[in-house]
Chains A and B, each alone.
Chain A
């Protein structure tokens, strides 16, 4: 087939005219906003809060004219891309959105540049949550403490919250559970399978699935994984009496008031159970709040209420931090580092965080929680979240956390699936974690095995 390319004379003349005008008056065809810094690329995961981040970024671009490109990936894919980028001679990504499970790996490996080293004038907004001081890193002590350098800015202060069916609670004349005993009693009360499950737990094995679901139970009952990470004592305490109590409780809840497929339920399935009206309670990161009242996704619009995760009597709520931090790659050109700092400077402000909240995200700036928006019905999760955030526990303060998480994922999942007993699971996991820690030359030890 022959084809001829005809250029209309009028179009050619128009184009020549436009080119001539542009050459004569270069300022006349500039965009409304001129970028003041270099374009940057952010590597990020596809989480429930991603849409709010994307909209916040759009607001930044519209306000400043600066360009931000987002490289969006699944959870594990994001980590792999970050590792590849930071280990290259020159990095592809300027801002790394790091999860609580791997940010110390990035700090300790020397892959993230301290923000104050790039711009000594940078100050973290006084109202921004420092989330267990995880935004700082002390290279000498090899841990996250406030006396270290400012390495990152929080992007999403995620912690698990208790989502419960406010309508059912109202009918039954109940109030939000504060203790685990309350939660169990209420879950049993509403448990009527297959139409309604008392609670749906995230018991599947995954990158950080059942372990993350278990932390509020473990720490809320006074247990823990290590003796005192802050003091550098990594003696394993997982198989304590409290640890056993927590795991037995978690399994009992699953068996007697939970979903029969708890051992295979991941985040999507837990959310699905709640959104379709088949769960009375779930423990889920707060990022999923916006889906609850979305009529396109939810059968329980306006029926969900939020509360801090329950705890044992006399102990505070203890949700595990599952937050996200934004750090700047060390191996990118200086102009891009400075551009990244500009973005973070803007992002942490109250105004930007208000945009984030309106877009369905979780603000990292405490000032937003004191705004009138927090009183609106739509944002009814804000007050319980602000109540729980100060008690959030930073589960891992060392770079080899992913190895420990892998052990917990297998051991906990085996116990939930009934493959081994809770005692065997806790003793086995403790042995493996102690081996990992001693292998990396940490001060460690372990408790006597549970009988």
Chain B
């Protein structure tokens, strides 16, 4: 390179345009340097395990001489999902469970939040009492409700006896087992909805309520035409959160019924546990995992789209 060329380049580099380019590229470099570790962490902890799961879902793993052998089986595991009766029963029950439990939690949680927001004295005490179930570990909840619903000495049957009714096998009867688990889940997770709704109610603009009162709205009209419309975004977010969590239910079913009697409380997480862990079918279990991840993601997308729609209307 000639000296003349070098000096012209040096001048160009010193110009404001060149300074901007250098500044931008160093900024870009800085962005990548700071973003890089987080990206690498996400790739290592999230993308890679899921990619590994997807790859395994196309394989069969067998063991001989202490060593694994992976055999490529293509889409066979995904095809088998459609004829897996346990998986279909689990899917159907999970949907019933998720919608049943979440609707119950939303209605109760909203009612409790509404009551709590109107209380002037002792609000903190009520709040503390209402959120108690959410603080109890799942295993303790299993023990509490297993005792409550025990056929021979459970409180539920003692209650029935008091009003002259015969005892009922709540967890062992196909007619009531799923309902019983739903009730336990409602008891466990209603406080979650309550907390979110209470936060939402407390952040609503008070002038709208004052205006509605001036317009002569009664408590029911206020709820229907002011509170509920304003709470729609909170309701949708709470619903989405709970729906996704309810779809992943495992501990309550495992502890109370192990999916039984028959398949009446079979849920997809429990089927996955059976297939992947108990039966040690890593390939098929991975395919089931991918299918469940897809379904949960789908639920989330639908719920968030509903929120965006509600936001746009608001």
Binding site for B on A (CB under 8 A): 76, 79-80, 83, 86-87, 105, 108-111, 194, 204-207, 259-265, 278, 330-331, 402-403, 406, 410, 413-414, 416-420, 428
Bound Cα distance from A410 to B274, whole angstroms = 11
Distance to closest chain B CB from A434 (angstroms): 14
User: For the complex, what is the distance from the CA of A194 to the CA of B169, rounded to whole Å?
Assistant: 13
Task: Closest B residue to A262 by CB, please name it.
Answer: B172
A413, B261: Cβ atoms under 8 Å?
Answer: yes
Given contacts A194-B152, A413-B260, A416-B261, 4 further A-B contacts (CB under 8 A): A109-B66, A205-B258, A260-B169, A414-B261
**What distance in Å separates the Cβ of A277 from its nearest Cβ neighbour in chain B?**
12
- Contact between B172 and A417, CB atoms less than 8 A apart: yes
Scoring B residues 148 to 182 as 1 if CB is less than 8 Å from chain A, else 0, what string do you get? 00011000000000000001010111100100000
Which residue of B is nearest A106, CB measured? Answer: B63
CB of B259 closer than 8 Å to a CB of A? yes
Contact A264 B278 (CB under 8 A): no
In this assembly, does B68 line the interface, its C-beta being within 8 Å of a C-beta of chain A? yes
**Contact (Cβ within 8 A) B279 A403:** yes
Min CB gap B19→A, angstroms: 56
> Complex: how many Å from CA A414 to CA B259?
11
Distance A369 CA – B80 CA, assembled complex (angstroms): 51
B44, chain A: closest CB distance, angstroms: 21
User: What are 26 contact pairs spanning A and B, CB under 8 A?
Assistant: A80-B277, A83-B280, A86-B66, A87-B63, A110-B63, A111-B63, A204-B172, A205-B259, A205-B260, A260-B151, A260-B169, A261-B169, A261-B172, A263-B172, A263-B173, A263-B260, A263-B261, A264-B257, A278-B152, A402-B278, A402-B279, A406-B274, A414-B262, A414-B263, A417-B174, A428-B85
Q: Indicate if B264 sits at the interface (CB-CB under 8 A).
A: yes
CB-CB nearest in chain B for A80: B277
Q: Is the C-beta of B314 less than 8 angstroms from some C-beta in chain A?
A: no
Interface of chain B: mostly helix, strand, loop or mixed: loop
> Which B residues lie at the A interface, using CB under 8 A?
63-68, 85-86, 151-152, 167, 169, 171-174, 177, 257-264, 274, 277-281
CB atoms of B278 and A205 under 8 A apart: no
B278 x A76 contact (CB < 8 A): yes
Inter-chain contacts of B257 with A (CB < 8 A): 264
The distance in angstroms between the C-alpha atoms of A108 and B64, with both chains bound, is 7
Do A403 and B262 touch (CB < 8 A)? no
Q: How far is the CB of B250 from chain A (nearest CB, A)?
A: 13
Chain A residue with minimal CB distance to B65? A110
Q: Which residues of A contact B169 (CB under 8 A)?
A: 260-261, 263-264
Complex CA gap A419/B257 in Å reads 15
Q: Are B172 and A109 in contact, with the CB atoms below 8 A?
A: no
Report yes or no: A410 in contact with B86, Cβ–Cβ below 8 A: yes
